Amino acid sequence: MDTVTVSSPWLLGLATLALATLLYWLLVNVFNRPSLPLPPGPKPWPIVGNMPHLGPMPHQALASLARLHGPLMHLRIGVVDIVVAASASVAEQFLKVQDANFLSRPPNAGAKYLMYNYHDLLFAPYGPRWRMLRKITAVHMFSSKALDDCRHFRQEEARRLVTNLANVGSSAVNLGQLVNICVTNALARAMLGRRVFNDISGGSDPKAEEFKSMVMEMMELGGVFNISDFIPALEWLDIQGVHAKMKKLHKRFDSFLTNIVEEHKVSKNHNHRDLLTTLLSLKEVQNDEGATLTNVEIKALLMNLFAGGTDTTTSTTEWAMSELIKHPTMLARVRHESDSVVGRDRLVNESDLQNLPYLQAFIKETFRLHPPTALSLPRIADSDCEIFGYRIPKGATLLVDIWAIGRDPKEWSDPTLFRPERFLPGGEKADVDIKGYDFEAIPFGAGRRICPGVSLGICMVQLLTATMAHAFEWDLQGGLDPEKLNMEEAYGITLQRKVPLSVNPRPRLAPHVYSQLV
């Protein structure tokens, strides 16, 4: 009797513990289980997660993984959930159907330490400040009227580029460097009312050289995989030294931009109402939501436009010229078209572009195979949502593999072949545009956070490619066979050529055309 009496409470306690354990297991694994699974994806490693799966070329690695796991994938890097869209249909779900849930950016060191702590347009959280900056650029920089008002800047800088190329003689030139000077000066004249780079035949401009070096360093730092973006607890250690470099570069950039703004305030030599003049005039004006523009936002916006508008246009133009040189029959067709429309006594103008359908198709094909950014700028999920039966958790980072979408064999026949005819009447994608409405090709992204300079970017690439193809014969350095031209990519914020395009240009138009330096 005593044994039974003593052991009964012990058995009762054991039973109670077992019951509690069972209830807890049911609560966690059954009753509290998410109703939908996460998208499929490769199994993550301990701590670092799927970082090793990305390798040195993340856009290509993700495209390969999508062929194994499907175009909607889930990865985990550090403590961050990442969802990848690698097909047109999946991208449309995120950037159109669920666009309102993915309007902000995830935290990152570049926006914090370089872009004035998220006070810029590219990385600002969705809200009053972002809407204000977006409206300002849409009206005063990228509207049809603003683009038309600055047309002569772009055409004049294209003419300068032609004159510079004609003056190099028999020397081989790095085409990307000269195109970058042209693009930056065209943009600077619209933004600041003045050029910032000298021609290659001119003397050294210390401020221009400083600015050029800062933009290049910004792109390099922005392309670094920063561990603390994915494991925030390690931010204070700055293991890679990235934060220190960003802070140092920010001080240089801020000093440079502050001087530009202050000089602009006292300058009276403005025949054109440039963007900076407009921005300064808006400082005391409240928008519909009561927000006003600050000096910090002005400088952050200038930094966005310079860094985002020059490198992307330059790299895409360099890819376009590479494809023309690699495919002589296409180059001949572009020239025949431009000779028929423009003739050989003047250069191509922007007004000619609408009459060059093959050139337009060629540029679309360039953007398809060589998008300015291979992976979209990341977005973050504001709340849980469902995509194709899978759960996308709140706080997940969204990456759209633009490169993979443009090479998807389910959307494109012979997707790795460069074939402009697919965009011509009768072609497989004759009605597809590249401005964010057709998700088979979204080189500028889509949705409300699409690149704001899409129209300007397309226009500049078309104008510069048409001008150079029309004005010159092109030989590769050292007489290299065009078919052997290296077309490898170098991964970064922008999709650059691994080997810069080095060429010998030979004038092919009437001699007087090349002396028309403005």
What single letter denotes the amino acid at residue 103? Answer: L
Alpha-carbon distance 423 to 480, whole Å?
30
Alpha-carbon distance 514 to 131, whole Å?
44
Whose tokens are 């078919």? That residue is 483
Q: Can you read off the two tokens belonging to residue 68? A: 């194994």
One-character DSSP codes across 397-438: EEEEBHHHHHT-TTTSSSTTS--GGGGSTTSTTTT--SSSSS
- CA-based torsion, 500, 501, 503, 506: positive or negative: negative
Kind plus residue range of the DSSP H or E element containing 489? strand 489-490
Residue list for the binding site for heme: 451
What single letter denotes the amino acid at residue 19? Answer: L
Q: Can you read off the two tokens belonging to residue 108? A: 């990152």
Alpha carbon separation from 218 to 113, 114, 197, 215, 223 (Å, rounded): 11, 8, 18, 5, 9
Q: Can you read off the two tokens belonging to residue 401? A: 């593999």
How do 379-380 and 173-174 pair as beta strands?
unpaired
What single letter denotes the amino acid at residue 275? Answer: L
Cα atoms found within 13 Å of the Cα of residue 357, Cβ hemisphere only: 8
How far does CA 232 lie from the centroid of its chain?
Answer: 25
78 Cβ contact list (under 8 Å, min separation 6): 47, 48, 49, 51, 227, 230, 231
One-character DSSP codes across 9-27: HHHHHHHHHHHHHHHHHHI
Residue list for the binding site: 451
Alpha-carbon distance 353 to 196, whole Å?
27
480 Cβ contact list (under 8 Å, min separation 6): none
**Contacts of range 1-10, beta carbons closer than 8 Å, 24 or more positions apart:** none
